[in-house]
A = this chain, B = another copy of it.
């Protein structure tokens, strides 16, 4: 059996689920899981994720896409079908802090992050040993604020990856880069957005005297730390916690949020909608 995932978004109206499930059934498939959401049954948007299996000798991905095309047109939908046998290729960008990188590589090595990692790219040489120890190519690119070297990043990333994860990458990617790369970029921000954007969110949290800190995983868009939020995690803190304590506590929530968000993304469980996300 081959497994596929359909992500599908359209204006809500009658009969969408019936039409999709009928399509799958008629083509010899079986729905494994279906998750669905409507913003408003009268005139809102409709979102569905369907995970289904088909006989080995049936459609391949290409045939499936062709066969489904009329259904998509019928509902004027945005949709995409993924073949679960094809792992996404995830490029990793990282600066000095290494705990998110460690978490990603650990999970990947344990077979839990079902992605290919074509490379880890960093403006910090020190991660080389860790990365190459896992048999993953490491690209050292000493980018900084004055020279972001985005063309080089692009040359590594555009053909070789399906999406990028910024696993604590400290340089802001330019709008031009986003346009040129033109695929999803997922960022972990070590603050509880929309509070504490930009630099040193733990320092900002300490200064403000908050009693809970948080981490946010979001898609990158043109606005700094403003893209659609995928996941957030929090930790209680007190006046006893120093900046160093916040950093240490925050690492747990950063790793947990990133782990969760990447798992969801890799399983094709996220649909973007306005500036938000549906996470099935």
Q: Does A192 contact B (CB under 8 A)?
A: yes
Establish whether residues B211 and A194, one from each chain, have CB atoms under 8 Å apart when the complex forms: no
Shortest beta-carbon distance from A41 to chain B in Å:
5
Most B Cβ at <10 Å: residue of A19, A41, A229, A273: A41
Measured between beta carbons, the chain B residues less than 8 angstroms from A214 are 212, 234
Contact B209 A228 (CB under 8 A): yes
Assembly CA distance A25 to B23 (angstroms): 14
Within 8 A of B (CB), among A168-211: 192-196, 208-211
Binding site of A, secondary structure by majority: helix, strand, loop or mixed? mixed
Task: Please tell me if A33 contacts chain B, counting CB pairs below 8 Å.
Answer: yes
Question: Is A30 interfacial (CB 8 A cutoff)?
Answer: yes
A-B pairs with the 10 shortest C-beta distances?
A209-B276, A18-B25, A18-B21, A14-B30, A211-B232, A212-B232, A195-B195, A17-B21, A15-B25, A239-B278
A residues whose Cβ falls under 8 Å from a Cβ of B: 13-19, 21-22, 24-26, 29-38, 41, 53, 99, 102, 106, 112, 133, 192-196, 208-212, 214, 228-234, 236, 238-240, 248, 252, 255-256, 259, 273-279
